[in-house]
Amino acid sequence: MSDNGAIESVVLAGVGGQGILLASEILAKAAMIAGNDVKTNEVHGMAQRGGSVIGQIRYGKKVYSPLVARGTARVLCALEQIEALRYAEYLAPGGLVVVNSQTITPVTVSMGAAKYPKDVEAKLRSVFPRLIYFDAGKRAVEVGDIRAANVVLLGALSTGLDLPMEAWKRAIEDSVKPKFREMNLKAFDIGRSCA
């Protein structure tokens, strides 16, 4: 029926400023290097002021929509743990979920107008049968910089996709400054081993 073949969709969810843009760029480049058509979407403006944000990446033989439809993401990755629940509707049945155990308190909670959910890990496990849940920031510190947490997570989520390692490596080398290359490659490997 369709002329665009199988399309892989990935949703990255988090809070403005967590590095979703870079993660999305690396993933898109890896997909292109592996010979795919690729489209991504990102959030700018108002939503970035500490708001909840998502990045969407789709690749395959021919991609039309840059947006991921409900229930079709092969991988959902949350850079902040409860954001995985907020965007759960995107996940395809049987899809992989990668969650950073970090908590970023929303201002609604700081003000006392809402509560941060308890037992997040248990909740995630009850909703997502294929879950990788770990402290990506801690693993990033091991390679030298907490800001590489996004790349650690990319390493973990790469296990749910079919892109060759070589494409990931070239995409990372191409997307970060030379002096951070080694560290980000290590961060990716550590993430992959956490899966």
Cβ-contact 66, 52 below 8 angstroms:
no
Report the residue number, 130 or 193, with the smaller CB distance to other proteins.
Answer: 130
Alpha helices in 34-103 (DSSP H): 83-86
Report the residue number, 147 or 169, with the smaller CB distance to other proteins.
Answer: 147
Q: Minimal distance in Å, beta carbon 45 to other proteins?
A: 3
Report the residue number, 4 or 193, with the smaller CB distance to other proteins.
Answer: 4
Q: Give the separation between CA 152 and CA 174, rounded to whole angstroms.
A: 17
Of all helices (H) and strands (E), which one includes residue 99?
Answer: strand 91-100
Q: Minimal distance in Å, beta carbon 193 to other proteins?
A: 27
- Compute the radius of gyration of the chain from its Cα atoms: 16
Report the residue number, 38 or 194, with the smaller CB distance to other proteins.
Answer: 38
Instruction: Write out the residues near other proteins by the rule CB under 8 A.
Output: 1-4, 15-16, 25, 28-29, 32, 37-52, 63-67, 69-71, 82, 85-86, 88-89, 105-117, 123, 127
Calculate the alpha carbon distances from 60 to 106, 179, 193 in Å. Answer: 36, 32, 26
Q: Minimal distance in Å, beta carbon 38 to other proteins?
A: 6
Report the residue number, 144 or 159, with the smaller CB distance to other proteins.
Answer: 144
Q: Give the separation between CA 39 and CA 9, rounded to whole angstroms.
A: 10
Neighbour-count burial of 133, counting CB atoms closer than 10 A to its CB (0-12 exposed, 13-18 middle, 19+ buried): buried
Q: Minimal distance in Å, beta carbon 66 to other proteins?
A: 4
Of all helices (H) and strands (E), which one includes residue 64?
Answer: none
3-state secondary structure of 92: strand
